[in-house]
Amino acid sequence: MQDFTGKVALVTGASTGIGEAIAQELLDRGAQVVIAARNRARLVATAQRMDPTGKSVFPQVLDARDPESVRGAVEQTLAFYGQLHLLVNNAGITGPHDVPLNEYAIEDWHAVIETDLSGTFYGMKYGLPAIAAAGGGAVVNLSAVNGMVGIAGIAPYTAAKHGIIGLTRAAALEFAQQGIRINAVGPGYVDTPAMAELPACLRAKMAATHPMGRMATREEVAKTVVFLLSSDSSFTTGAFYSIDGGYTAQ
């Protein structure tokens, strides 16, 4: 796979979980990486663990719900590294589970939609011009298996993840001739630190929904994302890649 030496990447939601694994994979392949998230303390700790020198990993506080915060993160990326080539819009929340749509609190709806869908829009709105100015690059947006199917009890999350796929495809068409490829991925259940905190019986139930009989590792998701950011996928744009162990093939 492509070496990313000389490339600058911005990954949102990267203080832990899938975002952290994506940032690590990019770093391991030579990129300079801006990791962005809301929790400053966790963000700084992650950056120091990934790169004690502070030269190749730059922590940036970002609230995906706030367009000014997202714009500021892009501006700080340019101020620190001088350019931006790669963007991963990973920040997201699921919101309350097992809540019928008619009982879903309006404030919870807005929190999920603003974080997951609007946050992806803000990331591209401010990130794409910077990538174009650097001569082109690639974007990957994190959808989910929920972007292809309906899952009862988490209607806002399902709606947001469907929306991310549509947003990805529209943006890919708009920027196809500007040297920017834009794709989306849809992980199934992933074995993250947050997932590890759930009861074992619930984790087993989630794992069993995949025909492969297990959850994805964070690294498996990261490698697919980085493939789509690399020149190895140079003719791929506007696509959606499932990383779900066969979940959506059922």
Percent of the chain with pLDDT over 90: 94
Ranges of H-type helices in the chain: 17-28, 40-50, 67-81, 106-112, 119-133, 155-175, 193-196, 200-208, 218-229
157 is catalytic: yes
Q: In whole angstroms, what is the distance from residue 154 CA to residue 1 CA?
A: 36
Catalytically annotated residue among 157, 189, 241, 247: 157
pLDDT digits (tens, 9 = 90+) for 5-29: 999 999 999 999 999 999 999 999 9
Pick left, alpha or beta for residue 77 (phi over 0 → left; psi -120 to 50 → alpha; otherwise beta): alpha
Residue 76 burial (10 A CB sphere; 0-12, 13-18, 19+): middle
Mean pLDDT of 159-169: 98
Q: In whole angstroms, what is the distance from residue 188 CA to residue 203 CA?
A: 13
CB burial readout 143-181, b (16+ within 10 A) else e? bbbbbbeeeeebbbbbbbbbbbbebbbebbeebeeeebb
Tokens of 157: 């999350």
Nearest by Cα to 85 from 201, 229, 248, 205:
229
* Domain ranges (residues) in the chain: 8-243
Mean pLDDT of 198-223: 94
pTM of the entire structure? 0.96
Look at residue 88 and tell me whether its pLDDT is greater than 90: yes
Average pLDDT value for the chain: 96
Please tell me the predicted confidence (pLDDT) of residue 202.
86
Q: In whole angstroms, what is the distance from residue 94 CA to residue 198 CA?
A: 15
pLDDT digits (tens, 9 = 90+) for 108-150: 999 999 999 999 999 999 999 999 999 999 999 999 999 999 9
CA gyration radius, the chain: 17
Nearest by Cα to 225 from 105, 93, 87:
87
Please tell me the predicted confidence (pLDDT) of residue 125.
98
CB 37 within 8 A of CB 58: no
Q: In whole angstroms, what is the distance from residue 93 CA to residue 38 CA?
A: 12
DSSP codes of every residue in 170-199: HHHHHHGGGTEEEEEEEE-SEE-HHHHTS-
Mean pLDDT of 208-235: 97
Please tell me the predicted confidence (pLDDT) of residue 2.
80
CB 68 within 8 A of CB 125: no
Model confidence at 49, in pLDDT bands (50, 70, 90)?
A: very high
Percent of the chain with pLDDT over 70: 100
Look at residue 1 and tell me whether its pLDDT is greater than 90: no
Please tell me the predicted confidence (pLDDT) of residue 31.
98
Please tell me the predicted confidence (pLDDT) of residue 196.
87
Q: For domain 8-243, say whether CATH 3.40.50.720 is its number.
A: yes
